[in-house]
Amino acid sequence: MSLEKGILGYLSMKPMSGYDIKRLFDMSAAFFWPADQAQIYRSLKKLTDEGSIELTEYLQGETVNSKVYSITENGNRVFREWLLDLQKSDFISRLPFVMHLFFSGALTPEEQLVCIEEQRRVNNEFTQNLMENYQENGDLFAELAGLPEGDRKLEAAMYAYRWGVLRGEAYGKLLEEIKEDIKGKKTDDKKEE
């Protein structure tokens, strides 16, 4: 997915400023697609140049002026085509934890246990934060995105949160099983000596 498709998705909910889009990314999609302010503004310019969005309002604020963008008919078409075109590569992710896990056999069992425990701690912290974010920000997300309770777009966004939580819980469980397996093998090695 490109950042531009995420921006089109937010703008398909309602017209927004770059600041509003950044806030929504931070409270909803950051756990699977982080974006900084500069990336968002570069993408807004690119999408405007392509005709996928348009500047519809220029709001004068007390401290800062903001531009409000709306998705165009072309932008809606591009967004829908992207939604309907699942690529095989969409199921492949770069997961640094898993790369560490994959090569952790090069460590001593003690070092491997430290590595596994650290992965478990970070994963559990991330999963806990995700659950808290979901509970705390669900209503705020709906309000900022302009989505009423029961809206299918809101429900779909909450599915992504559930995916993140379930993925984190499953990975935590796997790490715990691996840790116990390594401990068991250490015990077996000591018995053989």
In Å, how far from its chain's centre is CA 125? Answer: 15
Q: Is 191 exposed, middle or buried (0-12, 13-18, 19+ CB in 10 A)?
A: exposed
Residue 121 is predicted with a pLDDT of 93
190 — pLDDT class (breaks 50, 70, 90): low
Helices (H) and strands (E) in the chain, counts: 7, 3
**CB neighbourhood size of 103 (10 A):** 10
| Mean pLDDT computed over 51-66 | 82
The sheet that has 66-71: what strands, in order across it? 16-17, 66-71, 53-59
What is the band of 88 on the pLDDT scale with cuts at 50, 70, 90? low
In sequence order, the 6+-apart residues with CB closer than 8 A to the CB of 184 are: none
Query: For the chain, what is the largest distance between any 2 Cα atoms, rounded to a whole number of angstroms?
Result: 77
Does residue 11 surpass a pLDDT of 90?
Answer: yes
